Amino acid sequence: MIPGIRFAGIASGIKNAALDLGLVVFDEPAYITAVYTKNKVKSAHILYNKRLRSNEVEALLVNSGCANACTGPEGVRDLKELSEKLTSHLKAADGKIVFASTGVIGRRLPTETMAKALPAAVKDLRKNGIDSFSRAIMTTDTYPKIARASFKGEKEYSIAGVAKGAGMINPLLATMLVFIFTDYPVSPEKIRRKLLQGAKESFERITVDGECSTNDSVMLFTRQGREDLGCLDAFCNALFSVMKELAMMIVRDGEGATRVIHITVNGAQKKDIAEKIARRIAISPLTKTAFFGCDPNWGRIIAAAGDADVPIQPAKVEIILQGEVLAKNGIEMPFDEDKVKKLMEEKELELIVNLHNGRASYDIYTTDLTFDYVKINASYRS
């Protein structure tokens, strides 16, 4: 529970009988600070939220089952209409409701269905309703994702973050909606850079399939009023831990994934080089299928590294998987194949690629590529 915030999650009829509409209402207007997708194609909720004149928010309405992306000016008008209706139900001020959507791209929101369900959503609002809210925003997620933290300033403050995301997950960002709520009072001006930094170190450090979505959004809602800046660092630490925890929940729930691989590239001349190589390995289908098959096929890893479009000296590269050295100086080291295969059966794997060419490093989390990823995505719309 976070003082002053109420949550709801109901089945409005967008999806069959499942929870599909989440509502959050702030008793006092909150500040919103947001990071949105870098995809050139942006969903209507992002276009709409960005056009709002103020960063004061009284409510957040989120639906699953329809992404409201590629719906043109009508998609934005649909949100304006819903905003007017919800404003009158809540007796809120005009233009202080923000939106988020997730689901199939290219379909209009069923606004009539949603409008009819608004009174039920308002009625469902509860201080401890965050669990049903988190379930209402799920798509292919297999579990709801909530992370919490608290810290001390002039008083004890709380943070609760809610996320959804399992596929179309790529850093910068993913088909991922993240909402972070707190009773800590701080202005967007003071916290925006920290939020960006937190996103870089959490949501941009995971990938499932290298796909960047049209709807990705990270929204932080903070309290208005007198700021308590003495504990700003404590807030940021708590915020980062919530973001990191949600990011790990998302990658662990990667579509069809049986395991998570933590890839660290070190010994690079520059961080940028380490990052490009780490990302290239992380999205390589051949590397990801080998992880699914528990095959210590380090040749695919070095081939992906060589294809990252950055300088690399193959003859220096060392590859360590689960603590076992598979290759050194760019060539295979004798290793016990059965032992390594066994070690690869773990749910979380550690892969280190040392370029032995400098001191910079970068790390990222990815999943394996499995039959179930193909199955889920060959039939997502049906």
Residues with catalytic roles: 175
331 binds its own copies (CB under 8 A): yes
Q: Which residue's structure tokens are 């729930």? A: 253
Which residue of 292, 320, 353, 354 would you call a contact of its own copies, by CB under 8 A?
Answer: 292
70 binds its own copies (CB under 8 A): yes
381 binds its own copies (CB under 8 A): yes
Under rule CB under 8 A, which residues in 77-136 are in contact with its own copies? Answer: 104-107
314 binds its own copies (CB under 8 A): yes
Which residue of 29, 65, 129, 167 would you call a contact of its own copies, by CB under 8 A?
Answer: 167
With CA atoms as reference, report the closest residue to 366 among 303, 311, 304, 312.
304
Query: Other C-beta atoms within 10 Å of 2: how many?
Result: 21
189 binds its own copies (CB under 8 A): no
Q: For its own copies, which is the closer residue by CB, 129 or 167?
A: 167
Q: Which residue's structure tokens are 């689901």? A: 103
284 binds its own copies (CB under 8 A): yes
Helix crossing, 271-283 with 298-306: angle to 10°? 130
**At closest approach, how far in Å is the CB of 229 from its own copies?**
38
Largest CA distance in the chain: 71
For the sheet containing 360-367, what is the strand order?
331-332, 324-328, 318-321, 348-354, 260-268, 360-367
Which residue of 139, 207, 213, 217 would you call a contact of its own copies, by CB under 8 A?
Answer: 213
d(CA 218, CA 174): 10
Beta strands in 144-214 (DSSP E): 145-152, 156-164, 177-185
Q: Measuring CA to CA, how many Å separate 145 from each of 56, 163, 242, 250, 349?
A: 26, 5, 11, 8, 22
**At closest approach, how far in Å is the CB of 89 from its own copies?**
29
Q: For its own copies, which is the closer residue by CB, 214 or 241?
A: 214
**At closest approach, how far in Å is the CB of 13 from its own copies?**
21
Residue 183 near residue 4, CB atoms below 8 Å: yes
Q: For its own copies, which is the closer residue by CB, 213 or 222?
A: 213
Q: Which residues bind its own copies (CB under 8 A)?
A: 39-42, 67, 69-72, 74, 104-107, 167-168, 170, 209-214, 284-286, 289-290, 292-293, 295, 297-300, 302-308, 311-312, 314-315, 327, 329-332, 369-371, 373-375, 377-382
